[in-house]
Structure 1
Amino acid sequence: MIISEIRYDQYEEAKRLDAEYYLPEYIEVENLLKNLRLKLTLLEEVTNFIKKGIFYILAEEYKKEGIPFIRVSNIRPILLDYRDLVFISEEKNKKEKKTSLTAGDIVISKSGTLGNVSIIPPDMPICNISQDVIGISVKKKEINPYYLALFLNSPYGQTQLLRGKSQAVQGHLTLEFVRKIKVPLPSYDFQQTIESIVKEAYQKRNEANTKYKEAKKLLNRILGLEELRITKPKTFEVKFNDVEPILRFDAEHYQPKYRQVKEFLRRSRYQVKRLREVIEISNKKTDPSQEPTKYFNYIELANINPSTGEIEEYSQIIGHKAPSRARMVVKSGDVLVASLSGSLDNVGLIPIELDGAIASTGFFVIRSKNFLSEFLFLLFRTDLIKLQLEEKTAGAIMSAVPKTTFGDILIPLVPIEKQNPIANLINESFKLHKEARELLNKAKKEVEDFIEKGS
């Protein structure tokens, strides 16, 4: 049991009766900030406005190009994720100009993955936001937005944000609370240093994304994927003799796009084999609870960035507290393929520092002497493979690819000499992403050290 004691004047200030609001870690950060030998300001004092985004917008209003429209799924710590980024028209943005933001402004997820904070990058001069996003227009002459984004992503900013979660069933951040977040103000030079580090990280991430796109484009050309035509008819028919062998009666299983993928593979310029014939599907497992005092590196589905395939973070778990799904033993160079239908984009590559780690049983673990790991990683991120996986998913509540049918996936045997340039580009992309992460961690640590030295 955790017990916190508070003074009546603390309640008077917050007007909150929920016990969680007074958890010891929240009180500790509150006291630390109050006792800083540094100038402290409220967030509302260094911003032009703090407001939530467009209240009502239909998905039909999204465009393929125009003004970027930031949703919760795009907000990750410090830098935006452009995966699934949608756009709105200039007319819609003018109509909703009150929630329009510019480069250097800040966005916070007010629900869902609550408290994620990103900065609008310099190459996004204007954007707008959804109603589940809090937009902050920063007074850039009073505080450096890059420093502010780093502070809000630090334990001292995050603790305040998480503390502000409303008491509703599905908690969310309120504007009133966010406006009162306390922010320490360092020197101008220190804030500029943080900006320089973040911008360097952003540049490296852009270079990494360019390398990834080059690899993807090269793979598409090698496989001839530009010739893969996926149609989406409103109706379709299947013959009974197609249904009888597998006894699947769900219409989704027989969508024409799955047949189109198979027909494309039959015409492939390369030999095509079933996955189990050319790829090892590892079944090596361990039970961490048998070593109750040992710590294990543990990789879950959520640890893989679906945009880049990077394993951005992982947990350290002690054997006796390991979840039952923490079983799969992985080694450097293995490819992780998510089996759950909603996570098929979560394909990752095990780096050398995670050799011997434990992965969730929600992954298939594969390796092969016929494929370079980086090539195999990218191949499984193409529609050519994802659509085959999607076709094989089964189950009503938690739809997933069964182990019994995973090995039936069809794989084109591309010669190693054609895999090499793709593998090199993926390696370069991962290297640059890692450097970008290290820079962001460096900036974050400098902000944390600054606060701790001022306490």
Structure 2
Amino acid sequence: MTKETKPSISSVRFSELEGSRRLDAEYYQPHYLAAAEKLQRCGRVGEIIECALHPAEIKREYSETGLQLLLAQNVRRNYLDFSTTVFLPETVADLLRKNRLHPGDVVVVRTGANAGDTSCYDGEPERLYASAHLILVRPKGIEGAYLSTYFNTEIGRQLIKRGVYGSSQPEIAPAYVETLPVPRSDTVEREVVELVNQAREAERKSKCLYRQAEQLFLDESGLSDQDLSDDLWNDAKLTAVLGKSRLDAEHYQAKYHQLETAIVLYGSSTIGELLEGPPVKGQQQDGEPYQDGYAPYVSIKDIYDYALVPNQYISLGGAPPACAQPNDLLLALTGATLGKVGINFDIPALYYSGDLLRLRFKGIDPLYIAAFLRSPIGQDLIWRYQTGSTNRHLAPDDVVKIPVPRLQPTQEGAIANQVRESYATRVKCTQILEQAKRKVEAMIESEAVHG
């Protein structure tokens, strides 16, 4: 049964218009007005920060190493996700001086599908530069961890979203962020900062376990010494190309042949042989996420390490789209994140976008498969089958051809258990951040809120 949304009508007296800054009805939606009313006696962000700025934009020419750029997709709700990393050459350092983040800085996604998502930079990695799709907020009279947590509360998110303007490419202005009210309480702020620090420690442990799982796979499979460097040129015998759908040199790099030969000699099955049924693509949802929906929905940006973290919900109408069950894997098929793998650990019915492919396995622990696909070996094999240059794509018919090294059941089980432990630690991190957020929300609702 689907939910029906009632049309929302906004009305406001002319005398209540906030100067001439915004005259559009969206700005005066009732829930925005109610949020602002609760915090009207509080001080403003501009009073407790050094600056809120729009980072410089330059022509991006990525390099293998250099200056790490913080993208909008790296900013989640009160944490940073570095499962996708890009670098700019050292030669542009002077052009990006004001973009460099300092420990304690808060970053707000300025534009795009996840506009308003906010997190605090804790100093790791050491050199990090904000992209032009972010707003950089540098606190001076408040802890960045607390400010970020407040921005992620229900009221904080509503107030940030209220500042979105524009139709073709909606965005938030740094000047608007400076006008936002901030509830203060010394006790609550200390408690929140301590909880955020605990969450960061849990996150580090989760990432460590995640890396250990991948290394354990490489060690147990005997593939850790494989040379994965690219060749300057490639050739292939005509007999190897005839009858194939691929004629490009990239597909026939020697490293791919050597890698697949090593896996087959060790003992392997293809992904297709291990599947319970054919792989299934998801269904794209157009426009903004449904705020009134009830069915959890994920896209590529919702894959964090191994986990799928739904941040939006959809309403189902007509024939329901394909969904992922617990222990299903979702593989990214397109774009810069091609090859990302997420696991549905415990959501009974998880709906997913058209750029994700569902893989449902039988007779093998899917968490072992995930560790293999996320390893350098698995990623190289995935990239062998990608097509396109400007818009890379992976075909489901090619995914099923990828060979999977088979280990002893105890070895595969040990690797899978490392992944489970990593996920359990990540859940703990999420729970701690939620606890910090609830403390701020409880303070806002109490009579203790003061300016």
Give the TM-score normalised by the residue count of structure 2: 0.82
- Displacement of 1:240: 5.3
- Displacement of 1:243: 4.4
Matched, 1:423 2:424: no
Matched, 1:56 2:58: yes
- Displacement of 1:256: 4.7
Letter in 2 for 1:134: I
Matched, 1:181 2:180: yes
2:37 alignment partner in structure 1:
31
Question: Matched residues in 2 for 1:232 and 1:423: separation?
Answer: 30
| More helix, by proportion | 1
- Displacement of 1:21: 2.4
Deviations 1:308-364 (A, max 9, x none): 121122655454367x6x22352x33333334465433312222x323555556422
1:453 alignment partner in structure 2:
446
Task: Give the direction of change, closer, same or farther, for the CA distance of 1:404–1:264 in structure 2 (3 Å limit).
Answer: closer
Task: Give the direction of change, closer, same or farther, for the CA distance of 1:313–1:258 in structure 2 (3 Å limit).
Answer: farther
User: Residue 279 of structure 2 contacts residue 357 of structure 2 at CA under 8 Å; is this kept in 1?
Assistant: no
Letter in 1 for 2:23: L
Question: Matched residues in 2 for 1:304 and 1:5: separation?
Answer: 36
User: Residue 80 of structure 2 contacts residue 119 of structure 2 at CA under 8 Å; is this kept in 1?
Assistant: yes
User: Residue 103 of structure 1 contacts residue 124 of structure 1 at CA under 8 Å; is this kept in 2?
Assistant: no
**Residue ranges of structure 2 left out of the alignment (5+ in a row):** 1-6, 284-292
Question: Matched residues in 1 for 2:128 and 2:87: separation?
Answer: 9
- Displacement of 1:126: 6.3
- Displacement of 1:257: 6.1
Matched, 1:20 2:19: no
User: Residue 69 of structure 1 contacts residue 86 of structure 1 at CA under 8 Å; is this kept in 2?
Assistant: yes
Letter in 2 for 1:151: Y
2:17 alignment partner in structure 1:
11
Find 2:362's aligned residue among 346, 352, 368. 368
Q: How many percent identity over aligned positions?
A: 20
Aligned ranges for residues 36-435 of structure 1 at < 5 Å? 39-56=41-58, 58-59=60-61, 64=65, 69-85=69-85, 97-112=97-112, 113-123=114-124, 127-139=128-140, 142-167=141-166, 169-185=168-184, 187-233=185-231, 236-237=234-235, 241-248=239-246, 251=248, 254-256=249-251, 260-268=255-263, 270-281=266-277, 297-302=295-300, 304-305=302-303, 307-313=304-310, 316-320=313-317, 326-328=321-323, 330=325, 332-340=326-334, 343-351=337-345, 353-359=346-352, 362-369=356-363, 371-393=364-386, 400-435=393-428
Deviations 1:27-60 (A, max 9, x none): 23223332xxxx5011110001111223336536
- Displacement of 1:383: 3.9
Question: Matched residues in 1 for 2:43 and 2:158: separation?
Answer: 17
- Displacement of 1:202: 0.5
Task: Give the direction of change, closer, same or farther, for the CA distance of 1:110–1:243 in structure 2 (3 Å limit).
Answer: same
2:289 alignment partner in structure 1:
none
Question: Matched residues in 2 for 1:177 and 1:104: separation?
Answer: 20
Q: Which has the higher contact order (CA 8 A, sep 6+)?
A: 2
**Residue ranges of structure 1 left out of the alignment (5+ in a row):** 288-294
Task: Give the direction of change, closer, same or farther, for the CA distance of 1:283–1:347 in structure 2 (3 Å limit).
Answer: closer
1:291 alignment partner in structure 2:
none
Task: Give the direction of change, closer, same or farther, for the CA distance of 1:170–1:258 in structure 2 (3 Å limit).
Answer: farther
Q: Aligned pairs, how many? A: 430
Task: Give the direction of change, closer, same or farther, for the CA distance of 1:173–1:135 in structure 2 (3 Å limit).
Answer: same
User: Residue 235 of structure 2 contacts residue 253 of structure 2 at CA under 8 Å; is this kept in 1?
Assistant: no
Deviations 1:399-438 (A, max 9, x none): 6544444332222212112223322221111110000001
Question: Matched residues in 1 for 2:243 and 2:433: separation?
Answer: 54
